[in-house]
Amino acid sequence: MEASEKTAWLSIITNLGLVSIKTTVALISGSLAVKADAIHSLADVLSSTVVLIGIKISKRPSRKFPYGLYKVENMVALGTSLLIIFAGYEILKEVFFGPLRPLPRQIPLSVAGISTTIVIGWLFSRYELKKGLGTGSPCLVADARHIRTDMLSSLVILVALLSNGLGLSLDRYAAIIVVIFIGRSAITISLESVRVLLDASLDHASLDKIRTVVSADPRVVEINELRARNAGRYKFVELDVTLRVMELEKGHRISEELENRVKMEIAQVDRVLIHYQARQKEQLTYAIPVAEDRRTISEHFGGAPFFQLLTLQTRNGMLISKHVLVNPFLNEEKGKGIKVAEWLLRKGLDVLIVRHDQAGKGPNFALGSSGAEILLTKETEAAKALSAMVLGASGNMIARISDQ
């Protein structure tokens, strides 16, 4: 039996105990307010029973409901609010249309009984609210707030009983205040339940947290759309993102990583649906490490003295610009490969062309995490390598690149 079920059973037992105490006090004292509060607690027993039923039903798999029966819990919470309204109606009917009653009797015993219910209600409502928030169960949260309302109304009744000991007849007024507590609780629960049943968006704090988790990945260019909703205690998230990738397979892997990250960082997320699209760029920037002659591809990455940085149009491969940059980290003793990679990324690097695989090395992680691609070549000349990779081995284009 999971925590939510155990808590629901404890709620039923606790409310039965409160009903027994309040009914006994109502019979002994003859207090209208205590009688109304006993009816209120009886509604708690009914609502707690419905909570347990809702938890049981919401966990059942169903082919007809592929998204789960999680919203049953919200329907149960809405039913709970209706039960609270009914209890308030019964109290008001007794106050305004019932016969006049004498002052309550057995004040010391009645005060002791109501004080006991207040302590029990306060302790259990704290426990159930903590469990409800921990499991994300709207039923348990609704029930905890219901019991807390019961506790507050009992405080009002306690004051009325103490005043009756002084000869003041505040019993009916206390009953009216109890109805106000009941109405406030019912409205809060019903509004929250209706929001979820109508697929209202998650709260702003949760949406901001999801946006922060996804945006923190350097391979995400932009979040085009974010939608998320509740269903019972669970959350469903939909994302439309633009990624720094040119291959669909790589985009699929990144979307799976993002899905797992959202589920790890955000509690009670049942499903994350990510629609991704590759970044559409009109031009790409290529980098090639070159030797002292500035034409031959260097056998080293971090230790290359120069880098050719070339920008080409994506549509037709036409050369837009070409620069030969001095490696500013050539004389670094440690971590120069990673520093060079980060430097090239700041220059707008999209594709790195090298002769040796960088797998397992620092530059590979730095470039890969940012969405830049690493292409291997067997060519020794930078112009030929770029031509073979991008330009279809056109001799004229090789000459143009070499001469610039």
Span 74-125, pLDDT tens digits: 777 787 778 778 777 777 776 677 655 555 677 788 888 888 988 888 888 8
Q: What is the pLDDT of residue 68?
A: 67
Structure tokens at 124: 């259990």
User: Are 215 and 248 a contacting pair, CB within 8 Å?
Assistant: no
Q: Flag residues of the chain having pLDDT under 50.
A: 393-404
Q: What is the pLDDT of residue 239?
A: 94
| DSSP state for residue 222 in the 8-state scheme | E
Q: What is the pLDDT of residue 400?
A: 40
Spatial CB neighbours of 218, under 8 Å, sequence gap ≥ 6: 244, 369, 370, 371
**Angstrom distance (rounded) from CA 22 to CA 28:** 10
Spatial CB neighbours of 252, under 8 Å, sequence gap ≥ 6: 276
CA neighbor of 298 nearest in space, from 376, 382, 388: 382
Q: What is the pLDDT of residue 214?
A: 92
| DSSP state for residue 297 in the 8-state scheme | B
Under CATH, domain 283-403 is a member of which superfamily? Dinitrogenase iron-molybdenum cofactor biosynthesis domain (3.30.420.130)
pTM: 0.53
Q: What is the pLDDT of residue 35?
A: 76
Q: What is the pLDDT of residue 113?
A: 87
CATH number for 204-278: choose from 3.30.70.1350, 1.10.510.10, 1.10.3720.10, 3.50.50.60.
Answer: 3.30.70.1350
Q: What is the pLDDT of residue 101?
A: 56
Domain locations along the chain: 3-197, 204-278, 283-403
User: Are 300 and 362 a contacting pair, CB within 8 Å?
Assistant: no
Sign, Cα dihedral of 77, 83, 88, 89: positive
* CATH hierarchy code of domain 3-197: 1.20.1510.10
User: Are 386 and 402 a contacting pair, CB within 8 Å?
Assistant: no
**Angstrom distance (rounded) from CA 209 to CA 227:** 13
Spatial CB neighbours of 227, under 8 Å, sequence gap ≥ 6: 201, 237, 238
